[in-house]
């Protein structure tokens, strides 16, 4: 094997292979069958005995519920360079199906070995990144979240606030006529999407591992976004865990990129040269863009040093996803795909060159 392959475990905590469930049916001797019991115990699952059809159906339903509740995760990566050098980094997007949470992490790259650098050597079994975006989300009220109003005259890009939503968008969120209301569940939902946890249900752990009980009231009405450690069942920080799962969307790194449009004939080529020589372009912040199943395309500061590393700088809510937000905020949430396409970036001109990032939504 390559000598520079990492030796630290980057898999999620807990059992990472197949879980085995066994069911004994009809034959009473199977109720005490040591082989079935041992197979389930060794496989991290459970043995069930069913002496009739109803018991068998209950056992199968219990197994299916257990399988569907298991935490799954995956990762996709991006780099900030095709060659290893000073400042080289790898960005890793992940998801956790235990509550449909997401994360994006940045790792520095050792310029000598090409291996990922462990940012915290005190934890010898886990490779720690330089930053996680979930630790650096702005306060919900301070996030720059944009959206699109197809009915607007003039500028159709708007801030994602109640006052800027059109009638259809307000209806989709359940918002009434008064954007200043403190009792409107639609406004609560809008704030929830922005990351506010005020009206989330509160989860209290039971003693039986893997289960939670909900506490609700007339004001605690939305799905709880507290992420629990799969081994200890303790709440992880941050709480709430705002970033939604990142499954199909691959992160894309954006910095000062030359698409050679200066070679275009006439005014287009000249305009591109002017665009690339502008101080705003030359001072462009390195960014990493990724879509998440929380309804947004996110843009994070991709820097490896500085005060805003890993911070969400902008997010965008497409008009097409509004109809899914009631389900998204529901305690009975069934997973949906929102902005799940990989971003595409480039420079584009409609008389003036601008940088453009786009991604597909709703599995389009």
Distances 131 to 128, 137, 304, 305, 355 between C-alpha atoms, Å: 8, 12, 8, 10, 26
> Are 294 and 243 contacting, i.e. CB atoms less than 8 angstroms apart?
yes
CA distance 157 to 150: 9
**Token pair listed for 275:** 């665009």
CB contact set of 91 (below 8 Å; sequence gap of 6+): 77, 78, 79, 80, 104, 105, 106, 107, 251, 253, 288, 302
User: From the CA atom positions of the chain, what is the Rg in Å?
Assistant: 24
Q: What distance in Å separates the CA atoms of residue 305 and residue 96, rounded to the nearest whole number?
A: 27
Q: How far is Cα 31 from Cα 54, in angstroms, rounded to an integer?
A: 16
Q: CA-to-CA distance for 245 and 283, rounded, in angstroms?
A: 31
8 A C-beta contact, residue 102 and residue 294: yes
Beta bridge partners of 314: 299
3-class secondary-structure state, position 326: helix
Output the tens digit of pLDDT for each of the chain's 364 residues.
Answer: 444 444 454 444 445 557 788 888 877 777 776 788 888 887 778 888 888 888 888 888 888 766 655 555 566 778 776 555 667 899 999 998 888 999 999 999 988 888 899 998 876 667 899 999 999 999 999 999 999 999 999 999 999 999 999 999 999 999 999 999 999 999 999 999 999 999 999 865 433 344 455 566 789 999 999 988 766 778 888 888 999 999 999 999 998 877 788 888 777 788 888 888 888 888 889 999 999 999 999 999 999 999 999 999 999 999 999 999 999 999 999 999 999 999 998 888 887 888 888 888 876 4
Calpha distance 37→50 (Å, rounded)? 14
198/180 Cα distance (integer angstroms): 16
- How many Cβ atoms sit within 10 Å of the Cβ of residue 48? 20
Angle at 129 between CA 125 and CA 131, to 5 degrees: 145
Q: Which regions of the chain does DSSP assign to beta strands (E)? A: 22-25, 47-50, 75-79, 89-96, 101-108, 131-132, 145-148, 157-159, 202-205, 212-215, 252-254, 287-292, 296-301, 312-317, 344-349, 353-358
Instruction: State both tokens at 217.
Output: 């009231």
**What one-character-per-residue DSSP string does 233-249 give?**
-PBPSSSS--SBP-SSP
For residue 209, give both structure tokens.
């591992």
């Amino acid at each position: 094997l390559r000598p520079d392959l990492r030796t630290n475990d980057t898999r999620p905590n807990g059992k990472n292979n197949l879980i085995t469930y066994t069911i004994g049916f009809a034959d009473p001797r199977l109720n005490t069958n040591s082989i079935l019991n041992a197979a389930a115990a060794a496989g991290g699952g459970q043995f069930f005995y069913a002496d009739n059809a109803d018991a068998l159906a209950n056992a199968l339903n219990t197994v299916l519920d257990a399988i569907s509740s298991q935490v799954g995760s995956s990762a996709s990566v991006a780099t900030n360079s095709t060659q290893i050098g000073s400042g080289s980094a790898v960005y890793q997007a992940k998801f956790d199906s235990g509550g449909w949470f997401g994360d994006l992490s940045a790792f520095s790259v050792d310029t000598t070995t090409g291996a990922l650098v462990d940012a915290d050597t005190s934890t010898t079994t886990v490779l720690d990144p330089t930053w996680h975006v979930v630790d650096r989300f702005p306060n919900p009220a301070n996030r720059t979240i944009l959206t699109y109003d197809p009915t607007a005259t003039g500028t159709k890009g708007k801030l994602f606030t109640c006052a800027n939503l059109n009638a259809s968008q307000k209806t989709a969120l359940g918002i009434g006529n008064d954007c200043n209301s403190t009792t409107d569940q639609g406004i609560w939902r809008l704030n929830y999407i922005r990351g506010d946890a005020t009206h989330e249900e509160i989860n209290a752990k039971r003693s039986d591992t893997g289960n939670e009980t909900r506490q609700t009231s007339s004001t605690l009405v939305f799905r709880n976004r507290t992420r629990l450690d799969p081994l200890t069942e303790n709440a992880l920080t941050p709480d709430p865990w705002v970033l939604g799962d990142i499954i199909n969307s691959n992160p894309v790194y954006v910095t000062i990129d030359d698409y050679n449009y200066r070679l275009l004939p006439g005014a287009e080529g000249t305009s591109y040269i002017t665009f690339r020589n502008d101080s705003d372009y030359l001072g462009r912040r390195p960014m990493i863009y990724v879509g998440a199943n929380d309804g947004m395309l996110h843009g994070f500061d991709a820097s490896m040093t500085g005060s805003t590393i890993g911070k969400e700088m902008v997010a965008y809510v497409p008009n097409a996803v509004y109809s899914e937000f009631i389900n998204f905020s529901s305690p009975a949430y069934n997973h949906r795909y929102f902005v799940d396409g990989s971003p595409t970036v480039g420079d584009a001109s409609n008389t003036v060159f601008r940088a453009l990032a786009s991604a597909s939504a709703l599995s389009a």
